[in-house]
Structures are given as C-alpha cells and as structure tokens.
Amino acid sequence: MTVKNKKSSILRTVFLDRDGVINFDSASYILSWDEFKFIPGSIEAIARLTSAGFRIFIITNQSAVGRGLITTDVLFNIFSNMTRAIESGGGQIDGIFFCPHTPKDGCDCRKPLPGMILNATKKYGINLDLACMVGDKPSDIKCARAAGCGYAILLGNNTISDASHDPDLVPDIVLPDLKAAANRIISRLGKDLPRAKEPAL
C-alpha cells in the first residue's frame, strides 16, 4: 500500500476475528455460551476502540455449524451474549459476519478468502484503505490482504518465518493481544505511518 497523504493512513474500521482474539479458542470449537471465555482485556480493548470512534466488525469462521456440531440458533445465542457483555463494558459491535461452511464446501466466505470483509464493505460502505484486520492466524492476514485492508495485525506468539515466502501472510505487526492491538490502532490516529516505515517484525 502506498500512503499518498496523511489522511489516508488514518484507520477508521476494525475487523476482528473472534476466536483467539476476543475469546480463548478451542480445538474442539466453542459450542455454547458456557464455553465462551473472554481473553482478559479484550472487552476493555473494544471499548477503547469504540470510544476512539472506530466501527468494529467481527469476521469469523464458524465451521462447527457446517460440521453439524452447533446450530445457528446456538451460535446466535453466543453472539448475542458476547455482544451484550461487550456493550456492558462500553464497546459496540457494528456487525458480525460468520462463515458456517467447512473447507470442503467451496464457499467464497471462509477465511483466508475475503468474502466476509467484502460483504461488510458493500453493506456498510467501508473504506478498506482505512481498515485494519486483527487476527490470530495467518489466514486472517491473508484474508485482510485479499480484501485490500490497509493494515493487518497478527496476535499471539506467532512468528512469520514459516510464512515469509508468501507476502500475503505477512502482517504489518505482531502483537501479544487485542489490548496491545487497540493501543497500536489508536496511536495511528492522525499519524503518517506508511507500512514501509513500520518497525521490523
């Protein structure tokens, strides 16, 4: 991405992956609200982003639906409880986009494909140059790049060495958690930080 002027580097929309970003992920999927555990600091981070004026959308693969492990009713119940808890903490989620399919389904929405972000962009008129994706897997970064997001943050103890042969898997920065990501995103407000000048990963 080439930053042509100061304004174009100001981020206004944040796409958040759910599992591993907002709540702890599970290899056996999150199948009920009882299994949904917020990562410490994530509610506060979303509240900070909301207060700073960002629109926030959740972009999440939920193949447990396609695998028959959870119904959409239960998934919506989890979303609803999650949203309520976030709102109680002062945050706001502007929209939730989920992919219910399995890898075998051949859909165009399962990350790393960009379908969910593109749907959100169409529906809400998002300027992707001014959007940031936050995820905990390289597939989140690839999705962000495929959609054309201006900035992409990878969370956790990820290293990018395995992915370095594919530039679409390389994030702008790796940070430990959503709290750190929110601080980073907010600190970019009004600052001219083209990708080429990011600190070394």
Question: Which residues lie near Mg ion (CB under 5 A)?
Answer: 17, 19-20, 136
Q: Under a CB-based contact definition with an 8 Å cutoff, are residues 89 and 50 in contact?
A: no
Type of residue at 196: A
| 17, 129, 172, 177: the active-site residue | 17
Minimal distance, residue 68 CB to Mg ion, in Å: 21
DSSP 8-state class, residue 162: G
Q: Closer to Mg ion by CB, 9 or 62: give it.
A: 62
Choose among 187, 107, 111, 201: nearest CA to 149. 111
Q: Closer to Mg ion by CB, 17 or 172: give it.
A: 17
Q: Under a CB-based contact definition with an 8 Å cutoff, are residues 134 and 18 in contact?
A: no
Q: What is the largest CA-CA distance in the chain?
A: 48
Residue 108 annotated among the catalytic residues of the structure: no
Residue nearest Mg ion by beta-carbon distance = 20
- Lateral strand order in the sheet of 13-16: 95-99, 55-61, 13-16, 131-135, 151-155, 173-175
Residue 25 annotated among the catalytic residues of the structure: no
Minimal distance, residue 28 CB to Mg ion, in Å: 14
Q: Closer to Mg ion by CB, 27 or 200: give it.
A: 27
Q: How many CB atoms lie within 10 A of CB 105?
A: 12
Minimal distance, residue 137 CB to Mg ion, in Å: 5
Q: Closer to Mg ion by CB, 11 or 178: give it.
A: 178
Rounded Cα–Cα distance for residues 132 and 59 (Å): 12
Minimal distance, residue 141 CB to Mg ion, in Å: 11
Active-site positions?
17, 19
